[in-house]
Structure 1
Amino acid sequence: MIEHARRLELRNGDVVCLPADTTYEQAGELLAALGPDGLNIRCLIVLGDVHALDEAAMNAAGWYRK
Protein backbone atom coordinates (compact mmCIF):
# COMPACT_ATOMS: atom_id res chain seq x y z
CA MET A 1 0.00 0.00 0.00
CA ILE A 2 2.71 2.46 0.93
CA GLU A 3 4.11 2.27 -2.60
CA HIS A 4 0.78 3.64 -3.88
CA ALA A 5 0.80 6.60 -1.52
CA ARG A 6 1.24 10.11 -2.72
CA ARG A 7 2.49 13.07 -0.78
CA LEU A 8 0.03 14.09 1.87
CA GLU A 9 0.26 17.02 4.22
CA LEU A 10 -1.85 15.68 7.05
CA ARG A 11 -2.80 17.70 10.09
CA ASN A 12 -4.48 16.74 13.32
CA GLY A 13 -8.18 16.13 12.77
CA ASP A 14 -7.93 15.22 9.07
CA VAL A 15 -9.96 12.37 7.58
CA VAL A 16 -7.98 9.85 5.52
CA CYS A 17 -10.08 7.81 3.09
CA LEU A 18 -8.60 4.52 1.93
CA PRO A 19 -10.01 2.28 -0.82
CA ALA A 20 -12.60 -0.26 0.35
CA ASP A 21 -10.29 -3.15 -0.58
CA THR A 22 -7.59 -1.94 1.83
CA THR A 23 -6.80 -4.69 4.31
CA TYR A 24 -6.66 -4.09 8.04
CA GLU A 25 -2.97 -4.99 7.86
CA GLN A 26 -2.37 -2.22 5.31
CA ALA A 27 -4.39 0.25 7.38
CA GLY A 28 -2.30 -0.80 10.37
CA GLU A 29 0.86 0.11 8.48
CA LEU A 30 -0.56 3.58 7.91
CA LEU A 31 -1.56 3.84 11.57
CA ALA A 32 1.98 2.97 12.59
CA ALA A 33 3.36 5.68 10.31
CA LEU A 34 0.96 8.28 11.74
CA GLY A 35 1.24 7.22 15.37
CA PRO A 36 3.42 8.47 18.23
CA ASP A 37 6.57 6.90 16.82
CA GLY A 38 5.91 8.34 13.35
CA LEU A 39 4.36 11.68 12.44
CA ASN A 40 2.38 11.82 15.70
CA ILE A 41 -0.85 12.92 14.00
CA ARG A 42 -4.37 12.19 15.21
CA CYS A 43 -6.73 11.58 12.32
CA LEU A 44 -9.69 9.47 11.33
CA ILE A 45 -9.11 6.65 8.86
CA VAL A 46 -12.10 5.51 6.79
CA LEU A 47 -12.03 2.36 4.68
CA GLY A 48 -14.27 2.83 1.66
CA ASP A 49 -16.37 5.72 0.43
CA VAL A 50 -16.78 8.36 3.12
CA HIS A 51 -19.80 9.72 1.22
CA ALA A 52 -21.61 6.41 1.79
CA LEU A 53 -21.70 7.00 5.56
CA ASP A 54 -25.07 7.73 7.11
CA GLU A 55 -25.39 11.40 8.13
CA ALA A 56 -26.92 10.49 11.51
CA ALA A 57 -23.97 8.18 12.23
CA MET A 58 -21.52 10.92 11.24
CA ASN A 59 -23.28 13.40 13.55
CA ALA A 60 -23.16 10.88 16.40
CA ALA A 61 -19.40 10.58 15.85
CA GLY A 62 -18.99 14.35 16.02
CA TRP A 63 -18.85 15.05 12.28
CA TYR A 64 -21.04 17.81 10.94
CA ARG A 65 -21.61 18.77 7.33
CA LYS A 66 -21.07 22.39 6.49
Structure 2
Amino acid sequence: MIDIDKLRKLSPQDGDIFLAPENMAQVTAAELAEALQLSVPGLKAVVLCGNLEQLSEADMNAAGWYRR
Protein backbone atom coordinates (compact mmCIF):
# COMPACT_ATOMS: atom_id res chain seq x y z
CA MET A 1 0.00 0.00 0.00
CA ILE A 2 1.28 3.47 -0.88
CA ASP A 3 1.29 6.04 1.92
CA ILE A 4 0.05 9.13 0.06
CA ASP A 5 1.31 11.42 2.86
CA LYS A 6 4.89 10.38 2.08
CA LEU A 7 4.77 11.34 -1.61
CA ARG A 8 6.65 14.52 -2.36
CA LYS A 9 4.90 15.46 -5.59
CA LEU A 10 1.34 14.79 -6.65
CA SER A 11 1.14 16.47 -10.07
CA PRO A 12 3.45 14.38 -12.29
CA GLN A 13 5.11 15.93 -15.32
CA ASP A 14 7.50 14.55 -17.92
CA GLY A 15 10.98 14.10 -16.53
CA ASP A 16 9.96 13.95 -12.86
CA ILE A 17 11.83 11.71 -10.45
CA PHE A 18 9.78 10.34 -7.56
CA LEU A 19 11.81 9.40 -4.48
CA ALA A 20 10.11 6.72 -2.38
CA PRO A 21 11.23 5.41 1.01
CA GLU A 22 14.10 2.92 0.72
CA ASN A 23 12.02 0.24 2.46
CA MET A 24 9.25 0.41 -0.17
CA ALA A 25 8.80 -2.98 -1.81
CA GLN A 26 9.85 -3.18 -5.46
CA VAL A 27 6.34 -4.40 -6.31
CA THR A 28 4.84 -1.29 -4.71
CA ALA A 29 7.31 0.97 -6.54
CA ALA A 30 6.32 -0.71 -9.82
CA GLU A 31 2.64 -0.18 -8.98
CA LEU A 32 3.34 3.50 -8.30
CA ALA A 33 5.15 3.85 -11.63
CA GLU A 34 2.23 2.19 -13.42
CA ALA A 35 -0.30 4.43 -11.65
CA LEU A 36 1.69 7.53 -12.63
CA GLN A 37 1.76 6.45 -16.28
CA LEU A 38 -1.99 5.81 -16.21
CA SER A 39 -2.67 9.22 -14.65
CA VAL A 40 -0.81 11.12 -17.37
CA PRO A 41 -0.75 9.32 -20.74
CA GLY A 42 2.73 9.31 -22.27
CA LEU A 43 4.37 10.36 -19.00
CA LYS A 44 8.09 9.64 -18.73
CA ALA A 45 9.03 9.60 -15.06
CA VAL A 46 11.25 7.57 -12.74
CA VAL A 47 10.46 6.04 -9.34
CA LEU A 48 13.52 5.53 -7.11
CA CYS A 49 13.62 3.81 -3.73
CA GLY A 50 16.24 5.05 -1.31
CA ASN A 51 18.32 8.10 -0.68
CA LEU A 52 19.14 10.18 -3.73
CA GLU A 53 21.75 12.89 -3.75
CA GLN A 54 22.91 15.12 -6.60
CA LEU A 55 26.67 15.45 -6.61
CA SER A 56 28.64 18.38 -7.91
CA GLU A 57 31.28 17.84 -10.58
CA ALA A 58 33.99 18.30 -7.91
CA ASP A 59 32.39 15.63 -5.69
CA MET A 60 32.15 13.24 -8.64
CA ASN A 61 35.80 13.83 -9.55
CA ALA A 62 36.86 13.24 -5.93
CA ALA A 63 34.98 9.91 -5.99
CA GLY A 64 36.72 8.93 -9.23
CA TRP A 65 33.69 9.48 -11.49
CA TYR A 66 34.89 11.85 -14.16
CA ARG A 67 32.23 13.78 -16.02
CA ARG A 68 33.00 14.23 -19.70
Cα root mean square deviation, aligned: 2.6
Q: Which blocks of at least 5 consecutive residues in structure 1 are unaligned?
A: 60-66
> 1:1-66 to 2 correspondence within 5 Å?
1-2=1-2, 4-6=3-5, 8-35=10-37, 38-39=38-39, 40=41, 41-51=43-53, 55=60, 56=65
Q: Which blocks of at least 5 consecutive residues in structure 2 are unaligned?
A: none
Matched positions, count: 54
Query: TM-score of the superposition, structure 2-length normalised?
Result: 0.62
Identity rate of aligned residues, in percent?
26
> 1:52 deviation in Å?
7.5
Structure 1 residues 21 and 52: alpha-carbon distance in aligned structure 2, compared to 1, 3 A threshold: farther
